[in-house]
Amino acid sequence: MAETSSRTVVGRVGRVAVPVTDQDRAIEFYTQKLGFRLDVDIPMTETYRWVEVSPPGGGAALAIVPPPEGKPTGVDTNVMLTTSDADDAHAQLRDRGVDVDEEVSRMGDPVPPMFWFRDQDGNTLVLVETPDEQ
């Protein structure tokens, strides 16, 4: 067996790419409906820009960028966001017109309450109750 180094080469999760068809609509969704802040919006070429948004409480940013050629939008992102109150967050997002699951999922201890929702392109994200969240 090869010897492995005990030194860590990865510092943290910096960003996760979420494929979108229209970056302006995505900025509107993530900032106005979810309350994220716009961190980066840089034109890279005449037709491509790099956009990052992040939750106000910190953590990894979401890079909302066009998908690679031939790849879809409307994917299960496997992104799990946190909230201090899943019921309140569910009601607020529903009232803001976000496509949320019909109800908060309750699987019982030790699994916290959570629900899935979709962004403007149908990309699925999860919001999980973490009581110590601000």
The pLDDT of residue 93: 98
- Kindly report, residue by residue over 51-108, the tens digit of the pLDDT: 999 999 999 999 999 999 999 999 999 999 999 999 999 999 999 999 999 999 999 9
Q: In 3D, which of 127, 117, 120, 112 has the Cα closest to residue 22? A: 120
DSSP 21: S
113 pLDDT band, cuts 50/70/90, is very high
Cα–Cα distance for residue pair 106/110, rounded to 1 Å:
10
The mean pLDDT value of the chain amounts to 94
For domain 15-67+74-129, give the CATH superfamily: 2,3-Dihydroxybiphenyl 1,2-Dioxygenase, domain 1 (3.10.180.10)
Residue 3: its pLDDT value, please? 60
CA 43 to mean position of chain CA atoms:
22
Whether this model's pTM surpasses 0.85: yes
Q: Give Cα 30 to chain centroid, integer Å.
A: 8
Locate the domains of the chain by residue range: 15-67+74-129
